[in-house]
Amino acid sequence: MRRLAPALLALALAATACGSDQPVTATVESRTLTVFAAASLTESFGTLGKRFEEQNSGVTVKFSFEGSSALVQKLTQGAKADVFASADQANMDKAAKGEVLDGQPSVFATNRLAIAVGKGNPKGIKGLADLAKDGLTVVVCAPQVPCGSAAKKVQQSSGVTLKPASEEQDVKSVLAKVQSGDADAGLVYVTDATSAAGKVDKVDFPEAAGAINNYPIAVVKDAPQADLARQFRSFVLSEEGKKELAKVGFGTP
């Protein structure tokens, strides 16, 4: 029997391989969705992001959690993102005014304030008025941050004036000071205090009803992943999204 030349042998092997029954593995495109979201959404959006990845092969959701005002500033200065979720309407309005949004925002949740105190509530804090007592170290969010704006509203409506030891740039920083013992109490969102159960105690107060925050979400203008951004927005607004948000205390708009 004549032997095939090396070149012919290679062609024969290739033809045999092409005619085999072995399955061909499809390549899944890798895509990254960048979401700018208020710090108070850390836990709930973290979970929703993982579910979104599971439902969309090859997709990675990258979050940037900060105070809403800081995120707006980054967007208006040219930072690239696909989705923006704010902890209040005022900062979303700033984003719209800065022409960094694609389409109209939609409100997907509401939130209200609560008082975070150390485990066991060692100072015996029962309500907002107690935070004005001498000898307490109280921290709040800065006025330009949604939780700080809400804190200002409840003080004005209740007549209680606080003298905070510090004004933080996001609600997680307030919570961290209470957890570490650097502060006796802090005004945070119900959702943050709930998420930190076991690390802090939560004290509800009726005056919080006068400062309910709406949380809007929008697709960012010139989003690198515009189609994915719209899908994620719809996912957050879906029943599945609402159920996850409700677990930590977010309300329904």
Strands of the sheet containing 59-66, edge to edge, are 59-66, 31-38, 83-85, 213-220, 101-111
Residue 24 annotated as binding site = no
Residue 157 annotated as binding site = no
- What is each CA distance from 100 to 51, 89, 213, 222, 224, in whole angstroms? 27, 15, 22, 8, 13
- What is each CA distance from 35 to 28, 52, 237, in whole angstroms? 22, 12, 15
**What is the DSSP pairing of strand 213-220 with strand 101-111?**
antiparallel
Look at the alpha carbons of 183, 187, 193, 195 in this order and tell me if their dihedral is positive or negative. negative
CA 164 to CA 132: how far, in whole Å? 9
Residue 35 annotated as binding site = no
Residue 173 annotated as binding site = no
Residues contributing to the annotated binding site: 40, 68, 171, 189
Residues contributing to the annotated binding site for molybdate: 40, 68, 171, 189
